[in-house]
Structure 1
Amino acid sequence: MLLLEGAGFFLFNGVLEIPENRLYAAKVIFQCMVLSTFFGILSVPYNAVINAHENMFLVAVLGVLEALIKLGIALYVTNTSFDKLISYGSLMAVMAIILLLIRRVYCHLKYNEVTINVKKYFDRSLFKEMGSFAGWSFLGSSSSMIANYGQGIVLNMFFGPRVNAAQGIANQVSGQLSAFSTTMLSALNPGIAKSEGAGKRGSMLKMTAMGSKMSFFLLSFMCIPVLIEMPYILGLWLKDVPAYAVVFCRLLLIKNLIEQLSIPVSTSIKAVGNIRDFQIASSILTFFPLIISFGFFFLGYPPYFLYVVFIGYAILNSGLIFKYGNKYCGLALWSFIKNVVLRCVFSFLAVLLLSLIPQLVLDEDGIRLLIVTGSSGLFFIIIVYVIGFNKQEKNWLNMLLKSFAISLKEKLSIVKI
């Protein structure tokens, strides 16, 4: 909080370009962000306990509750006569506090180990190991946070708040489309950690490869029709679509797709626990996109070059993760690239190209959006099954579908009786 407050002093005194009549609202929003970050950090141990117990039911309930609260905030902000920006920021901070309190009360009541008892749990060697891990993790997470917030600051410095509006829309679209893959990874992460903890390295690597593939395919399924019909979708959603919003959204989704391939590998490296060199290298690499983007903007390049640079960063960072996955986890690089990366990329490109066909013969409207969505879903199922999965994965998928069909048939027969 001290670091953020110190940064805020400089940001609001000469760095950010904010209209004078909105400066107070911007400062209030910044304080709400600091408060939300504080309570977000406090909730980390409770999230860890929930994930360790694989309590996906609570994760789902909290996810639904968060969505309902956000809907309520949106309805309130739409109808209130009070400053809408201040209302939004304040209520989002309150939501972070409410969710923390629910997690805290639930964990203290449900799990015996969730208690503050220094004498009982004090273990110098364990604290030292956990402190080292937490310290290096903090280096990685803080550098990522600076890079993420830095994007908006750099764009604001060169192009003003209008371009920040386009960036905000891109982040909203990206966040919503990534929800399914993020939830799947949340359910997968405890399994990766437990497999490594039990000494089952081979099982962990299989889960890692399958997780990379499935998270990519889940996001691809959601992204492909949106990538194609982005101008029409944003036109339906927004009264006035900001300049660069469409290109920002498309480039950010491509960046996210690239990152999906390496996220489970990063989880595996953390499960092994030897993260110092990985976090140092990753943190150094994280700052380069901002520096390069600053240079491009200084030379007069358009704002979308920020995301072009970050796509390049996503590719380099994935390569770095694969390298350390090979070093610390025994990840077979060529096998992973051939079975996961290439299969995912070729499947995505094939579905994308086939789904573009309706654009060649139909005008932009709701009918074309429905046709693109339906055809991309059909192409996706066929191509991902043929290209995306290897023989072993197809056998596993066939067994899963067969058992599901038998179960469904039994339930239908019971209903008939």
Structure 2
Amino acid sequence: MTANKTINNSTNNSENNKRIAKNTAMLYIRMLFTMAVSLYTSRVVLNTLGVSDFGVYNVVGGVVLMFSFLNSAMTSGTQRFLSFELGRQDFEQQRRVFSMSINIHAIIALVVLFLAETIGLWFLNTQLIIPVERVNAANWVYQFSILSFMVTILNVPYNASIIAHEKMNIYAYVSIVEVTLKLLIVFMLQWLGFDKLKLYAALVFGVSLLIPTINIVYCIRKFKECIYYYFWDKSLFKTLMSYAGWNLWGNIASVTMNQGINILLNIFFGPVINAARGVAYSVNAAVNGFVGNFQMAMNPQIVKSYASGDRKYMFQLIFQGSKYSFFLLFTLSLPILIETDTILLWWLKTVPNYTALFCRLVLINTLIDCISGPLMTAAQASGKIKVYQTVVGGLLLFILPLSYLFLKLGFPPQTTLYVSISISIIALFSRLLIINKLINISLIAFLKQVLSPILMVSVVAVVSPLMVKIYINHEIIRFFTVCFISLLSVVLAVYYIGLKNEERLFVNSKLRMIAIKVKK
């Protein structure tokens, strides 16, 4: 009986791995398209709006996102509970969780509307530094941002259902439609003569209304549990809100860190610095999307393997997910880190001050944070997130007062990112210690199998492209040589240093299969 169970688990895990690979491939196709379009649209929007208006759009939108901690707390909870019930194969409970999630998100949307139209509106018009002649346009942006955010909140249970069911092809198709529409917006900005900032906010809202509609229609037609019916279960409400309550603390910290820093930079340095930060995070979003897609494909399996009691497979996913996430992001980031100035000069007609430095520091911070992605999912899967959110959320929340202190003392704007990087390193090791208590993951094994290969690969891979950067002066030749050498050095370092023997054997077998297919 035990032998049969082992065989079945092995077969199921093999199928799950294939599903992860297929979903990841689909998400990468989506990402290649969306990255190209997003980078192009960022450039055109910056040039069309101008540096000041682009900065205003980023900081005003950031005020609305300050309230996203309410929604983010429930988003991860909804995904976790839906994936968990799918792992248990309990259809009735899936229906109950989904309908209660709709109820809760409707309440959250109303709370966000109230807070945004009171505290948020006051903050926008009294505390932010916005050119006097653009205050009216900033209020337009603010109202459309509120509407867009409310639609996003109500879409969460449907989006979570698509991810829980691992229908990444649908997620990819809808994302491609979204970025295509945003590309159309860019052209409309140039064709129409209305105030560009107001028009951009209105058109983005139009897209944010259409995309959730597509998700809702798909879920209702394909997933039986996504047909909403009024249902209120006090016990389930308490379970969901208790889970969300501890998530709330972590999300308050995360949102405060990101949007709070954006507002601090506006108060101390004005909207031009917000424009530089906005460009840096556009680059980061494009690159980090590759890792986000990989982890998105893997996360439901981590939760489902926990729910089914397959701890061995869950640990394998966590270790491989953390290591491969870093390698993937490092492969894409290294040439950007080395050739940031050249890329920005070619990409943007106008490069705001501090943009290159912000880009480098944001990418370094993201490289550190991406290691923690599977660890966060493991904590969510366990459902025991009180200590995790308290400690990690407290660390992240500490970034804002530290940044304020340094800026008040006269330090430059990039100091905020130095603080963030330092806290991210501390948070990574804090997560490891907490996860060890939650699911009994081996700290020594994680250090040996994940952090040690990551450190060695990083040190070895960076040498060759840096030498090219130093000794080749011709801009175009240097750029393409750095990109090629970066890719080659990372791939070789990962293959010979970053992978275990069995992982190398797996790669070799896949390469042989590809070679055979090509020959045929």
| TM-score (normalizing by structure 1) | 0.94
Q: How does 1:28-39 map to 2 (within 5 A)?
A: 28-39=140-151
Task: Find the aligned partners of 1:358 and 1:251 in 2 and give their Cα distance.
Answer: 21
Aligned to 1:135: 245
Tell me which of 431, 439, 445 is aligned to 1:335: 445
Aligned to 1:291: 401
Task: Find the aligned partners of 1:364 and 1:156 in 2 and give their Cα distance.
Answer: 37
Q: How does 1:187-266 map to 2 (within 5 A)?
A: 187-266=297-376
Q: How does 1:343-358 map to 2 (within 5 A)?
A: 343-358=453-468
Aligned to 1:169: 279
Task: Find the aligned partners of 1:278 and 1:23 in 2 and give their Cα distance.
Answer: 41
For structure 1, the 5+ residue unaligned runs are none
Aligned to 1:277: 387
Question: Would the aligned equivalents of 2:243 and 2:385 in 1 still touch at CA under 8 Å?
Answer: yes
Question: Would the aligned equivalents of 1:252 and 1:307 in 2 still touch at CA under 8 Å?
Answer: yes
Task: Find the aligned partners of 1:364 and 1:134 in 2 and give their Cα distance.
Answer: 54
Deviation above 6 Å: which 4+ runs of structure 1?
none
Task: Find the aligned partners of 1:323 and 1:331 in 2 and give their Cα distance.
Answer: 9
Q: How does 1:105-184 map to 2 (within 5 A)?
A: 105-118=217-230, 124-184=234-294
Question: Would the aligned equivalents of 2:337 and 2:360 in 1 still touch at CA under 8 Å?
Answer: yes
Residue identity matched to 1:53: H
Larger relative contact order (C-alpha < 8 A, sep ≥ 6)?
2
Tell me which of 71, 76, 87 is aligned to 2:183: 71
Aligned to 1:17: 129
The Cα shift of 1:364 comes to 4.9
Moved more, 103-112 or 309-318: 309-318
The Cα shift of 1:316 comes to 1.6
Aligned to 1:401: 511
Task: Find the aligned partners of 2:226 and 2:387 in 1 and give their Cα distance.
Answer: 31
Tell me which of 308, 312, 323 is aligned to 2:422: 312
Residue identity matched to 2:499: F
Judged with a 3 Å threshold, the aligned counterparts in structure 2 of structure 1 residues 253 and 310 are, in CA distance, closer, same or farther, namely same
- Describe the superposition over 1:206-260 as per-residue Cα deviations: whole angstroms up to 9, x where unpaired: 1011111111111111111011110011111122211110100000000000001
Judged with a 3 Å threshold, the aligned counterparts in structure 2 of structure 1 residues 199 and 384 are, in CA distance, closer, same or farther, namely same
For structure 2, the 5+ residue unaligned runs are 1-111
Task: Find the aligned partners of 2:504 and 2:252 in 1 and give their Cα distance.
Answer: 40
Give secondary structure in 1 for the equivalent of 2:412.
Answer: coil
Percent of aligned pairs with the same residue? Answer: 36
Give secondary structure in 2 for the equivalent of 1:247.
Answer: helix
Question: Would the aligned equivalents of 2:382 and 2:439 in 1 still touch at CA under 8 Å?
Answer: yes
Task: Find the aligned partners of 1:87 and 1:344 in 2 and give their Cα distance.
Answer: 45
Task: Find the aligned partners of 1:277 and 1:319 in 2 and give their Cα distance.
Answer: 14
Task: Find the aligned partners of 1:392 and 1:125 in 2 and give their Cα distance.
Answer: 47
Aligned to 2:47: none
Aligned to 2:206: 94
Task: Find the aligned partners of 2:248 and 2:172 in 1 and give their Cα distance.
Answer: 27
- Describe the superposition over 1:115-166 as per-residue Cα deviations: whole angstroms up to 9, x where unpaired: 22245xx655444322322232233223322321111100011111111111
Judged with a 3 Å threshold, the aligned counterparts in structure 2 of structure 1 residues 32 and 313 are, in CA distance, closer, same or farther, namely farther
Judged with a 3 Å threshold, the aligned counterparts in structure 2 of structure 1 residues 235 and 141 are, in CA distance, closer, same or farther, namely same
The Cα shift of 1:56 comes to 1.2
Give secondary structure in 1 for the equivalent of 2:226.
Answer: coil
Judged with a 3 Å threshold, the aligned counterparts in structure 2 of structure 1 residues 364 and 294 are, in CA distance, closer, same or farther, namely farther
The Cα shift of 1:52 comes to 1.5
Give secondary structure in 2 for the equivalent of 1:302.
Answer: coil
Judged with a 3 Å threshold, the aligned counterparts in structure 2 of structure 1 residues 80 and 348 are, in CA distance, closer, same or farther, namely farther
Judged with a 3 Å threshold, the aligned counterparts in structure 2 of structure 1 residues 125 and 395 are, in CA distance, closer, same or farther, namely farther
Question: Would the aligned equivalents of 1:278 and 1:324 in 2 still touch at CA under 8 Å?
Answer: yes
Judged with a 3 Å threshold, the aligned counterparts in structure 2 of structure 1 residues 57 and 44 are, in CA distance, closer, same or farther, namely same
The Cα shift of 1:269 comes to 0.7
Judged with a 3 Å threshold, the aligned counterparts in structure 2 of structure 1 residues 177 and 78 are, in CA distance, closer, same or farther, namely farther
Aligned to 1:41: 153
Question: Would the aligned equivalents of 1:232 and 1:364 in 2 still touch at CA under 8 Å?
Answer: no
Residue identity matched to 1:112: K
Task: Find the aligned partners of 2:145 and 2:256 in 1 and give their Cα distance.
Answer: 14
The Cα shift of 1:25 comes to 1.5
Judged with a 3 Å threshold, the aligned counterparts in structure 2 of structure 1 residues 3 and 321 are, in CA distance, closer, same or farther, namely farther
Tell me which of 156, 160, 171 is aligned to 1:59: 171
Question: Would the aligned equivalents of 2:256 and 2:400 in 1 still touch at CA under 8 Å?
Answer: no
Residue identity matched to 1:376: S
Residue identity matched to 1:58: I
Residue identity matched to 1:331: I
Judged with a 3 Å threshold, the aligned counterparts in structure 2 of structure 1 residues 142 and 79 are, in CA distance, closer, same or farther, namely farther
- Describe the superposition over 1:85-125 as per-residue Cα deviations: whole angstroms up to 9, x where unpaired: 22222222222211111111100011111122245xx6554
Task: Find the aligned partners of 1:3 and 1:58 in 2 and give their Cα distance.
Answer: 34
- Describe the superposition over 1:285-334 as per-residue Cα deviations: whole angstroms up to 9, x where unpaired: 22211110100010000000011111112112212221221111212112
Matched pairs, number: 408
